[in-house]
Structure 1
Amino acid sequence: MPVFTVKSTAALERAIRLKRQLMAFYSYCLLWAGTFIGVELAAFEPNTPTLALLALIVIINVFFYLLIRTGISEQFRDPSLTIVQMAAGILLTTAILHYSRELRGAMLSIYFMVMTFGVLALDRRRMLLIAAFTQLCFTSLLIYEWFEAPQQAIFSYLVGHWLILALGLGWFIYMGGYIHNLQSRVREQRRRLHEAHNRLSAIAVRDDLTGLYNRRHFLERLEEEMSRANRENNPLHLAIIDLDHFKQVNDTYGHHAGDDVLHRFAQLAAMGLRKSDLLARYGGEEFVVLFPHTSTQACQAAMERLRNRFAQQHYSFSGDLRSKFSAGLTPYQPGESAEEFIKRADRALYQAKDLGRNRIQLAN
C-alpha cells in the first residue's frame, strides 16, 4: 500500500476520533448546564461546586483531546481511549449525583448516556466490566451518604435507585453485546467483500498462470505510455518475446511442464526488469515488455541478460532441456498508432526466428 494512503487513512481516523471527543465535550457541557440550572432552581444542593465541576470538565476533555490530537493515544490498543473516557465520565456523574436531591432518580439516566459511548466500541465482556464499575461507584456513593447522614437516607429510595441502575445496566450489557456482535459481522462481511473485490480486480488485469499483467491491461497501459511519450518527448521501447520451440515442450513433457517453463520465465523477467517496465503475458508463450524512459542500448542489454538467465535454467522434469526465447525490439516513433508500434516489434520477432532463434532482433 502506498505511504500516502496509509498516512491519509490514519489522519482520517484521527479526525473522526477528534470529532467524537468534541461530541463528548458537548455532552459534558449539557450535563454541567443542567446541574447549574438545577442549583439555581434549588433542585440540587446549594453548595454544589459548579465552577469546580466546570473546570474539571474542561481539564478532562482537554487532556483527552491532546492525547488524540498528538497521536499519543494511537500507541494504545484503543486509540479512542473508550474505557478510560467512560470511567472518567462515570466518576464525574457519581460526583454530580452526590449533590442531587429528589432528582437523583432522573439523574441516573446520565450513567446510561455514558454507557452509550461504549456500545459500538466495546464487546460484551468489556461492557460488563464498565457496568460493574458503574454499579460499584453508585454503591460506594450510597454507602458514603448512609454513613455521612443516615437520618436523611430513605432505605426504600436507596434500594429502588440501586435496582433501577442494576436493571438498566443489565439491559445495556445485553443490547450492547448484541449490537457489537452485529457490527462485527457487518465488518467481517465488508472485509470479505473488499477481498473479493480485490481478487476480481486482480483477475481483470492479471494472468492466472504467471501472475503477470494480461493482454487487455497491457494494451490499456500502452496507450497511456504512448500518450506520455508524445507529450513529454521521452523514449519508449517495446519488446515482443516468444519462447522457442515451446510446443515441443508441451508435446514431449506435457502441459504441466509447459506451465512450469512459462512460470519460470515470468519470475525471471519480473525480477530482472525495472519496476517501471511493464511486463505482460500477451498470449500463449508470447510476452511483451514496455520500456519507458530508457535508451535502445539499455533495452537490448536488459533483454540479453534475461535471455542468458533463462537459458541457464534447469527443470525437474528434464535435465536436458535448455529453454530459450526470441524477441523483437523496437523504439516508438512519435505519432504512430499502437497497432503500428506492435506490428514493427512483431516483424522484428519474426526476423529473429528466421535468423535462427534465441536472439534479440532490433527492428529496422
Structure 2
Amino acid sequence: MDFLACLFRFPKDDPAQATRARHSLMSLVSSLTIIVFTLYCSYAGLFRLGLRELAWFILLAILVHAVFFAMICSGRNLRLADPSLTLPQMYVSILWMMFILYFIDHVRGAMLVLFMIIFVFGIFRLGLKQFIGVAIFALAAYAIVIALLIYFHPDSINPRIEMLQWVLLAMVLPWFAVIGAYISNIRHTLRQKNKDLEKALAKIEQLVSHDELTGTYSRRSFLDALRRELARAERENRPFCLALFDLDHFKSINDRYGHLAGDDVLRSFADCVQQEVRQVDYFARYGGEEFALLLADTEINAATDILERIRARVESQPFPHVEWNVTSSIGAAQYQPGETLNQLIGRADQALYAAKSEGRNRVKQAAGSIRQ
C-alpha cells in the first residue's frame, strides 16, 4: 500500500511534473469517454465482441493509462527523452481506437470524430514533424483495419464508404496536425518569453537589491533588512549592532589616481570585508565611500572585536593603484529597546564621526542606551 501511495503521489512540488500528471489524467478521462461510447454500442448490439471479452480490453486500456500516470508521479519519466510521454500515450490511444473500429459495426464514421480528441493532446507538446508522424501512423493503422475487415468480415463493411472515410481522414488529420503544431509553437514561444521575463525580473531585482559596482547590498535593501531586524529585536528581545564604515582619505585616491582606480579600491574593500562577515550578517554600500554592516544576534563588545579584525585586515590589505595603506574608520552602535531606526543610525553615524575626529583608522562605539 505504501508503495502504491508513493507511486501515485501527485507531484505538487514540481510544477512541470504536476502539469504532465494532469495531462495524463485528461488522457485517461478521454479514453473513458470512448469506453462509455463503446459499452453503449455493445449494449445496442453494434459491437462484435461479447461484453465479458470487451471488459478485459477495457481493463487493459485503463491499466496502460495508469502506468503512464504512475511513471510521471514516481518521476521515472524524467529518465526519458520525452518526459511528458505525449507520443506514447497518443500511439496507445490510436491503437485502442483501431481495436474499436475493427469490432464495431455501422457507426465507424462517428468513431472517427474521436480522433480529434487524441490529436488535441499533441498541442501540449508536439512539433510539426511529430504531428505528421502520428497522422501517418493513424492513417496506416486505419488502412490496415479496413483491409482486415474486407478480408475477414466483408459483410460488415462497405469498401467504398470506408475508403471515402479514409480519404476524408487523410485530408483532415494533416491539416489538424499543421494547426496543432502552430498552436504548440505559440505555446512554446510564450513559455520561452515567460522564462525570459522571469530572468529579466530577477536581473531587475538584483540591480535593485545590490550595488552594481561592489556587488554588495544596496542602501535601500540594507534599510529594509535593518527594519526587519529591528522588528525582530523588539519581538524576540535579541541584540544586534549597526556599523558604518568610511574609507579614509578616499577623495585623495580619486584625485591622484582617478575615479576608475577609486572604483577598484571600493570593490577590493568590499571583497575584503565580506571575507570576514558571517552569512547571517548584512553588508551594503551605504553611499559613495561609505558602507554599512548589520551584525545579527551580536552585542556591542563582540561586534567591536569583529570590526577591529576587519579594520586590521583592511589596513594590511594591498589595494590596486594605491601606494599607501588604505584604512577605514568605523562607528558601531547596538540597538537599544524602544529606539527608532533613525536614532540607531544617528548614534552609529556619531560614532563614525568620532572615529574620524580622533585620527581615523579606528573603531568607535556609540554612546549608551537612550533614556526613555
How does the TM-score come out when normalised to structure 1? 0.90
The percent of aligned pairs where both chains have the same amino acid is: 34
Alignment partner of 1:101 is 2:105: yes
Contact 1:32–1:53, Cα closer than 8 Å, also in 2? no
CA positional deviation for 1:12: 4.1
Matching residue within 295, 317, 331 for 1:291: 295
CA positional deviation for 1:151: 6.5
Contact 1:112–1:168, Cα closer than 8 Å, also in 2? no
Contact 1:240–1:286, Cα closer than 8 Å, also in 2? yes
Contact 2:216–2:284, Cα closer than 8 Å, also in 1? yes
Q: 2:328 maps to which residue?
A: 325
CA distance in 1, matches of 2:282, 2:292: 8
Structure 2 portions without partners, runs of 5+: 1-9, 368-372
CA distance in 2, matches of 1:309, 1:133: 72
Change (3 A) 1:144 1:305: farther
CA positional deviation for 1:276: 1.0
Matching residue within 290, 302, 309 for 1:305: 309
Alignment partner of 1:61 is 2:65: yes
CA distance in 1, matches of 2:213, 2:11: 35
Q: After superposition, give the CA deviation of every residue in 1:234-254 in whole Å (9 maximum; x if it has no partner).
A: 111110000011001110111
Letter in 2 for 1:131: A
Matching residue within 229, 239, 261 for 2:233: 229
Q: After superposition, give the CA deviation of every residue in 1:100-129 in whole Å (9 maximum; x if it has no partner).
A: 222112211222211111112112122222
CA distance in 2, matches of 1:192, 1:19: 25
More moved, 20-29 vs 180-189: 20-29
Q: 1:162 maps to which residue?
A: 166
Matching residue within 186, 210, 213 for 1:206: 210
Change (3 A) 1:271 1:126: farther
CA positional deviation for 1:149: 4.1
CA positional deviation for 1:142: 2.5
Change (3 A) 1:309 1:141: farther
CA distance in 2, matches of 1:22, 1:191: 26
Contact 1:311–1:323, Cα closer than 8 Å, also in 2? yes
Alignment partner of 1:254 is 2:250: no
Letter in 2 for 1:120: F
CA positional deviation for 1:336: 1.1
Q: After superposition, give the CA deviation of every residue in 1:209-248 in whole Å (9 maximum; x if it has no partner).
A: 2222222222222122112112211111110000011001
CA positional deviation for 1:154: 3.9
More moved, 120-129 vs 299-308: 299-308
Alignment partner of 1:132 is 2:136: yes
Structure 1 portions without partners, runs of 5+: 1-6
Letter in 2 for 1:146: I
Contact 1:32–1:50, Cα closer than 8 Å, also in 2? no
Secondary structure of 1:281's aligned partner: strand
How does the TM-score come out when normalised to structure 2? 0.88
CA positional deviation for 1:50: 2.2
Alignment partner of 1:353 is 2:356: yes
CA distance in 2, matches of 1:321, 1:125: 68
Change (3 A) 1:293 1:152: same
Q: 2:275 maps to which residue?
A: 271
Q: 2:116 maps to which residue?
A: 112
Contact 2:295–2:303, Cα closer than 8 Å, also in 1? yes
Change (3 A) 1:344 1:150: same
Q: 2:246 maps to which residue?
A: 242
CA distance in 1, matches of 2:161, 2:153: 14
Contact 1:326–1:353, Cα closer than 8 Å, also in 2? yes
Q: After superposition, give the CA deviation of every residue in 1:31-54 in whole Å (9 maximum; x if it has no partner).
A: 111111112223333547321222
CA distance in 2, matches of 1:75, 1:311: 55
Number of positions where the alignment pairs a residue of Structure 1 with one of Structure 2: 357
Alignment partner of 1:44 is 2:38: no
CA distance in 1, matches of 2:12, 2:360: 52
Matching residue within 29, 43, 46 for 2:32: 29
Change (3 A) 1:140 1:14: same
Letter in 2 for 1:43: L
CA distance in 2, matches of 1:68, 1:355: 69
Q: After superposition, give the CA deviation of every residue in 1:66-101 in whole Å (9 maximum; x if it has no partner).
A: 222222223334333111111111111111110122
Change (3 A) 1:155 1:357: same
CA distance in 2, matches of 1:17, 1:246: 58
CA positional deviation for 1:312: 3.5
Matching residue within 82, 89, 95 for 1:85: 89
CA positional deviation for 1:27: 1.6
